[in-house]
Structure 1
Amino acid sequence: MRRRIIIFLALILAILAIVIPLALTIHFSRERAIAAERAHMQEYANWTLLRAEQVLTDAKDVLAQVGEGDCSVGHIERMRQLAIDSGAVEEVGHYDGDRLACTGWGKVPADVVIGRGTPSATLAGGYALHLHVKPRISHAREVMVLGYRDHNVLILPQRLVDVLSDSHMILGIATRQGTLIAITGRANDGLVGQLSRQAMTGMDDTDIYASVQRGDLTAFAIADRSAIDAKLGSEMRLLLPIGLVASAILMLLILWVSRQRLSPEKELKLAIRKREFQVHYQPLIELATGYCVGAEALVRWRRPDGRWIAPDLFIPLAEQSGLILDITDHVIEQVVADLHAMLLAEQQVHVAINISARDLESGRFLDVLEREIAKAGIAPGQIWLEVTERSLINPDTARATIARARDAGHLMAIDDFGTGYSSLSLLETLPLDALKIDKCFIDAIGRDAAASVVTPHIIGMGRALKLNLIAEGVETREQDAYVRKAGVQFAQGWYYAKALPADEFMAFYRDYNRGKRSRFLSVAA
């Protein structure tokens, strides 16, 4: 069943390995093409704005240079010459009050009355801007008028958008308030109005566009969406080979991984070889003193992709295949490597290691343990060993291994007590030092459940056997108070701390015990 699932998943992944890179290639190519064309539009909008600003700056310079005027011959000549010299201005005029008195062409006839009019917009610095003006003196084409005090200048609106473009696009310039000044072609009025009022980039069903604002002006650029297609082609030519190579690599990777993962045992063997197993430490609290006095070493499997595999998924497979022996060796080596400095410095601290039924049958783990702790100089009594009721299938073999472990100086505890099938007579004959009350009985504390009735009997049984009692899975203040009152010596669980990596456990140990008077110093005194 598992094999069929892996093959099916591998097939699905293979299809995805082809489709996804190609789909992403097309998607990213299109996004890059759109982004490039938007940047292109914004670039031209900026250039248009710079062009318009330059024209207005030149026009303002002319108004600044013309000085005071009285329509004398010299004054008229000066206005004419400034218009000739300027690349932005078509004509310069002078007002006498509200009436145009003269221009660079000469004096305005007395019977021709040209007033200032109401400006279309007022620019910073007191400049008046009049749009869509038809000159009555020079009869030139429609212009815009920039006025300042008693003079004005005529400017062709087209000069503001006179920007060379490398493609067909529409360029426009407007006041910051949204009044259109000049545009190079026909465009949707609603879009032009929107672009004239705010800086933005975007795309609709027919156009791609951008607008920029600075000072008194807004500039915009609009192009047909077909401009994206040309860029899309070049982006596809660039990214498609990358997508094909990515597909090929993913296909090969999926094929390799599938072959590795088709056998669960191979997967587990590979994890052992690559040392993917880590050890976390569940702090153990001595209830009478409140001290953290040790921890239980718990094996964790972290895959290369960062996923954690639950122990109840891989431990049964490891026990069934015999690979649990290698995992136990790894845990022993890791515990000594992680905590040897702490165990040497803190002689009262111990670490409990779980031993499987296979370990009890072979007893080989004791050789590994003896070698590692001898190398590190750790006292055997600092390493406790835990066996579950379910591992006592062969009591004679278990008894021999447990006795050997105790003779070596290790304390032995029976784990998950109450969930297996060991009889009281069997427990009485085994050389044990501690009994661990399973979490299911601790969870029942304070509840109207059958397990809550059993809990005090288990505690009484442990006392009768003269065993140290350890409560597993304490998670609430109520549970902590109960086991304290019941005379349980030790407890562990999330109420105190979760299982922690080695560095975090050592930090927890220091912080948890800081400021408390050591019970060992008290005993020594």
Structure 2
Amino acid sequence: MQRSWFLVVTIALTTLATLFPVGIGVFMAQLEANRREADQLSVFADAATRRAELVMTQAISALQDMEMLRDEPCTPANLVQLRRITYTYSYIQDAGIYRAGKRLCSALLGPIEPGQFPLPPPDWRTPDGLDYWFDQPVPFNAQRHVVLIGRNGNNVGLDSQVFVDVVDRESRMLAVVQTDAGRIFSATQGANLTRLQQAYSEHSYGSGADAAQEDDASIVLRKSRNMPLAVVVLAPRAALLANWKSLLIGGLVVGLSAGVPLGILVWRRATRRFSLEGELRSAVRRHEMVVHYQPIASLSDNHWVGVEALVRWRRNGRLVRPNLFIPMAENAGLIQQITDQVLDIILSE
């Protein structure tokens, strides 16, 4: 029973010694994967913020150029200037004039007949007088939509995708938010707008310096310092797991490299302790050897002429045969200690 208990303890200790470094390796791989993902998200969010700021800067610069024009609105000379402005700024698709909810003309459309392309009230107006139409259909192509930004009767049209046109091999979801309105007006193809809007609403109070971890995704919110813009990046856990596999393999290799030798060491030490040799060492250390005396008689007269001292070892209530433990003691270097103990016993008796 005692030996069975020792065997169970030995197996448990060996397993623990082997798996503990493996567990540490997996845990460190998880931490490293999270750190790398957070760094990548942060870099990507910074790049997306710079892109959105650049597009918005071009829109405001184009409006400023239009406000400086001296020609009468929608005259041929004015239309030439509008086309020049459109070609000057790479992200601007159109530049036009509007008054009281009506489009009068644009660089792309030329003079517009009254009522031909009505302009609804802006979706949002900022304190500094910028009007936003976040989702206006493109004339002649109702399936496409543009963002219109206007001020003082001048407006520019931009494809909403230019705000999020950032190279991303991980296919993360990206959205740009007009922070005054709290509304997403640009997002990558296939993005879950409801989820991104919810992420912005839940994290907009923070600085966006770190990645927020949710059960199924990592989220980074980055706010522009000088414009009413914010970028929301959402990376599903599936993308993180794809990057984690290589780190997991590395963590397992490192963990096994440390765990297997440690497990072998524990196993050898434990089995040595609980093996017959280990028990013999313990018996010698605890002075458990006993001496039995065997008389020596003379064959000529049948008289005792002496005694022979025989060392015996009782293990678990039973005597171990000398031909088993004596060679073992010789191989283990214990024979001298046993001899000394036998002499001590003889002298004491």
Per the TM alignment, residue 186 of structure 1 is displaced from its structure 2 partner at its CA by 3.0
Could you tell me which of 232, 238, 246 is aligned with 2:250? 238
| Cα distance in structure 2, aligned partners of 1:185 and 1:55 | 18
Could you tell me which of 167, 173, 195 is aligned with 1:191? 195
User: Map of 1:16-35 to 2, 5 A cutoff?
Assistant: 16-35=16-35
C-alpha contact (below 8 Å) 2:223/2:230 kept by paired residues: yes
Aligned to 1:159: 162
| Cα distance in structure 2, aligned partners of 1:135 and 1:239 | 53
- The number of residues matched between the two structures is 260
C-alpha contact (below 8 Å) 2:178/2:229 kept by paired residues: yes
Aligned to 1:141: 144
Q: Secondary structure at the match of 1:227?
A: helix
In the alignment, structure 2 segments of 5+ residues that lack a partner are: 279-349
Q: Secondary structure at the match of 2:144?
A: coil
Q: Secondary structure at the match of 1:228?
A: helix
Could you tell me which of 193, 196, 201 is aligned with 2:212? 201
1:108 aligns with 2:112: yes
| Cα distance in structure 2, aligned partners of 1:144 and 1:195 | 22
Q: Secondary structure at the match of 2:182?
A: coil
1:61 aligns with 2:71: no
User: Map of 1:450-489 to 2, 5 A cutoff?
Assistant: none
C-alpha contact (below 8 Å) 2:102/2:114 kept by paired residues: no
| Cα distance in structure 2, aligned partners of 1:73 and 1:234 | 63
C-alpha contact (below 8 Å) 1:202/1:210 kept by paired residues: no
- When residues 56 and 42 of structure 1 are mapped into structure 2, their CA distance, relative to the original with a 3 A threshold, is same
Per the TM alignment, residue 88 of structure 1 is displaced from its structure 2 partner at its CA by 0.9
- When residues 224 and 98 of structure 1 are mapped into structure 2, their CA distance, relative to the original with a 3 A threshold, is closer
Per the TM alignment, residue 78 of structure 1 is displaced from its structure 2 partner at its CA by 0.7
- When residues 6 and 120 of structure 1 are mapped into structure 2, their CA distance, relative to the original with a 3 A threshold, is farther
Aligned to 1:37: 37
Q: Secondary structure at the match of 1:167?
A: coil
CA RMSD of aligned residues (A): 3.7
Q: Secondary structure at the match of 1:131?
A: strand
Could you tell me which of 69, 73, 79 is aligned with 1:76? 79
| Cα distance in structure 1, aligned partners of 2:142 and 2:243 | 46
| Cα distance in structure 2, aligned partners of 1:52 and 1:65 | 20
Letter in 2 for 1:108: I
Q: Secondary structure at the match of 1:134?
A: strand
| Cα distance in structure 2, aligned partners of 1:98 and 1:230 | 51
| Cα distance in structure 2, aligned partners of 1:86 and 1:225 | 38
1:174 aligns with 2:184: no
Describe the superposition over 1:18-37 as per-residue Cα deviations: whole angstroms up to 9, x where unpaired. Answer: 11111222232233224423
Describe the superposition over 1:437-473 as per-residue Cα deviations: whole angstroms up to 9, x where unpaired. Answer: xxxxxxxxxxxxxxxxxxxxxxxxxxxxxxxxxxxxx
Describe the superposition over 1:465-513 as per-residue Cα deviations: whole angstroms up to 9, x where unpaired. Answer: xxxxxxxxxxxxxxxxxxxxxxxxxxxxxxxxxxxxxxxxxxxxxxxxx
Letter in 2 for 1:179: R
Per the TM alignment, residue 211 of structure 1 is displaced from its structure 2 partner at its CA by 3.0
- When residues 56 and 231 of structure 1 are mapped into structure 2, their CA distance, relative to the original with a 3 A threshold, is same
- When residues 148 and 18 of structure 1 are mapped into structure 2, their CA distance, relative to the original with a 3 A threshold, is same
Aligned to 1:15: 15
- When residues 96 and 194 of structure 1 are mapped into structure 2, their CA distance, relative to the original with a 3 A threshold, is closer
Aligned to 2:318: none
User: Map of 1:495-506 to 2, 5 A cutoff?
Assistant: none
C-alpha contact (below 8 Å) 2:173/2:192 kept by paired residues: no
| Cα distance in structure 2, aligned partners of 1:124 and 1:36 | 40
- When residues 257 and 190 of structure 1 are mapped into structure 2, their CA distance, relative to the original with a 3 A threshold, is farther
TM-score scaled to structure 1, two decimals?
0.43
More relative contact order in 1 or in 2 (CA 8 Å, sep 6+)?
2
Letter in 1 for 2:118: I
Per the TM alignment, residue 189 of structure 1 is displaced from its structure 2 partner at its CA by 4.7
C-alpha contact (below 8 Å) 1:124/1:216 kept by paired residues: no
In the alignment, structure 1 segments of 5+ residues that lack a partner are: 263-525
Per the TM alignment, residue 68 of structure 1 is displaced from its structure 2 partner at its CA by 3.7
